[in-house]
Every structure is written in structure tokens, then in C-alpha cells.
Amino acid sequence: MSKDASQVSPLAPARFPELPVIAGLKAAIGRAGFYKHERPDLLLMLAAPGTQAAGVFTTNAVGSAPTDWCKRALDAGRGSSRGLMVNAGCANAFTGADGDAACRRSLEAAAVKLGLAPNEMLAASTGVIGVVLDDSKIARALPAMELGPVDWLAAAQAIGTTDTFPKGAGAACEIGGAKVAIAGIAKGSGMIAPNMATMLAFVFTDASLPAQILERMLREETESSFNSITVDGDRSTNDCVLLFATGAAESPPIADAKDDRLAGFRAALSQVLADLAIQIVRDGEGATKLVTVSVSGAASDASAKKIARTICESPLVKTAIAGEDANWGRIVAAAGRADEPITREMLSVRFGELWAAKDGMVARDYDEAAMSAYMKRAELEISVNVGAGAGRARMYTCDLTKRYVEINGDYRS
């Protein structure tokens, strides 16, 4: 959790959701002491034999020891992973061979605790970059950690860094008549950008699905969830989303991701991932506004997404939103510098249902008073049309306030 837990984001949900029980899953929470103050910072999870897993990882070229480990473990085991260890307070990124060795030793110790082989373990770390993980702290914490039913709230709290509230989401569906549950937790507040953002997400289901199907669905659904959010445009070294399927629900075996029986599961998974992703934006460091930016009329969906991202990450746009100023000129300028095809004579901007610009110029019915009133809302929708194309995209962001500077200027203090 954050250094100042009293400053909970004004965009936070009213409460942590009631998440479903995932059959075949246990958890343990502890304190390794990566923080000076008293707080949980270590999470272990153990899934039933036969569990399958998949992951999507940061595209940051630096990467980290835990993301490297996960990629190798998933490849070597063909998705057969039963254990997860997550630590907060040390990213163990850009730490060379020493960091790799520390990651391995910590997982070996956790594997003994869980009764697994190390290659059945996956790892995730979050915190300061450039500091080697002190695995001795983890080794000392493990004996006191008791496995039991998953306390989702406590698990979500254990993995946070500058988060001001714990993030969780769940859903229920059916596969071939069998009832299936999905539950997930995430952390993230700053250093958030598309293509995996400092964000971690761990999603669990009791469905019986092979790793190759999990991976395909996870990659596809991540595109419209975690890869469609941005807080500050900074892509972390440690980001990952891991999806585990315990198989305990005894849903019918499925070998093809396009199987019609997966429609309900895919929709439920999409809902959970999107919910977690938007919660991360709601907790953007210093955020006071949740902003949805929709772009249409682009040359392609990819072009629309690039334009939307450029608008979402523009400091001028984000600070104007923080100041509750509908400065649509900054949005137009951001769209123009995305280096994507636009038709200036068709460029239009709408805030909610209020037109700011239309067909290449200020809207004839522009109403400054109505616009100012709209900008005071906590949740804003900005729609931008850039031409006559069929491409469209939606992204989520937040405003940029003085508090963001305070949090990040003080991060290592």
C-alpha cells in the first residue's frame, strides 16, 4: 500500500469486491521486511496438481529476473505451473547475474515450503529498480507463513507498492454446462503504459483448460484491457499478467480456443481483466479524474489506438483535465502529432455529449459554461473523430496533478 494510506484515491471503489472461491487454490501471506514500516509484502499461492498457466509480460527491453524466470519456466514446463511467489518492495530488475541467482534461491526456498519443484514455481516482484533481491529475508519469512483458503483482500494488499487501495475482480460463467469461477487481483498506480504496464495481475479460474488456450485468450483479452490503459506513459521492467487454471471445476475438455463453449468464459475473463485494468487507472498516482478516450474514423484500429494513446499521454492534455479545463486545442494537437493519417476537415472532439470542435473547427454551438460544468465530473469521456476510416480504439487514462510529482519525487526516500 502507499506511504500515506490516508490519501486513498478519490476514484477508488466503495469497497473491495466479494470474490468467488477458486477450487484447488490456497494462499499464504507474510512479511519479509522489504519495507521499513509494518506491512505484508510476500504472497505465496499453491494450485492443485494438473494446474495449467500462461503469462503475458512487459515489452520493456530491460526486463527483470522474475519475468525472465517465468518465461523460461512456462516454456520448459509447457504451462504446467502450480506455485506463485510475489514480493513487493524490491523489483529485482537490472540486477544482473546476482539478481537472477537471488530469484532462483528465493523460489527454491518457496518450492520447499509448497512441496513443489522450483520449475513449477512462477515469480513476480515489484518495487525499486536496480536493487538485488535479498532472498534471505524471504527464507526467514517462509516458515511462519500458513497456507489456507485465499483471503483475496489480504492478498491484494500484500502485493501493493504506491497503490492507495487493493484491487480485485471476479466473475462466474459456464463451460459446457459446468459452473466455473474466475477471480483476480492486481497492483499498479504509477509507471503505467500499454504493452504491460508497473503493474502485476494474477488471475485464477477452476476451469479445466490447457495452457495454449489460456495463453491465446490472455493475449487477446489483454489487448483491450491492460494494453489499453496508461497513467504516465512509462512502461515498467516487471509487468506481468499470469492466468492459472486449476481444473477443479471439472469442466469438459476443450482443445480449441475457438470452441463455442468458451464464449461465456471468454466474456467473463474479459470482464475481470478490464475491471482490474480500469481500477489501476482509478488509482493513478495523484489522479482525480478517470478519462476514457475513444477515437474513430482512423485508417485502422492500430492507427486509432496510437492516436488515442498520444492523447492520453500528453502532459498538456492531462494537466488541462486536472485543471478542469476543456482545452480541446491540446487534444487536436496531440492527435495531429501521433504521425497517423487524419483528415483535418473532419477532425471533431466531443466531451460527453458536448461538441468542442466539429469538422475541422470550433463547434458552432460550443458552450463554455456547459463545458466547464462537465469538466468538474470525476469521470470524463472524450471522443475524437479523425476522418472517414473504419478504425476505432478506446483507451483509459487519468489526469496529471501535483500529487504525481510529490509521490515520484519521494519514491526512494
- Active-site residues: which are they? 198
Number of other residues whose CB lies within 10 A of the CB of residue 131: 17
Question: DSSP class of residue 74?
Answer: H
Beta strands in 188-339 (DSSP E): 200-205, 240-245, 290-298
51/198 Cα distance (integer angstroms):
26
Cell of 95: 540486477
Cell of 262: 468458451
- Cα dihedral 361, 364, 368, 374 in deg (nearest 10): -90
Nearest to 173 by CA among 17, 279, 53, 20: 20
124/107 Cα distance (integer angstroms):
11
Parallel, antiparallel or unpaired: strands 83-90 and 290-298:
unpaired
Compute the residue count for the chain. Answer: 413
Spell out the residues 6+ positions from residue 48 whose beta carbon is closer than 8 angstroms to its own.
23, 24, 25, 82, 246, 247, 248
Are 110 and 86 a contacting pair, CB within 8 Å? no
106/132 Cα distance (integer angstroms):
12
Spell out the residues 6+ positions from residue 214 whose beta carbon is closer than 8 angstroms to its own.
52, 53, 54, 79, 243, 245
Nearest to 11 by CA among 321, 311, 314: 321
201/23 Cα distance (integer angstroms):
19
- Identity of residue 215: E
Cell of 315: 502532459
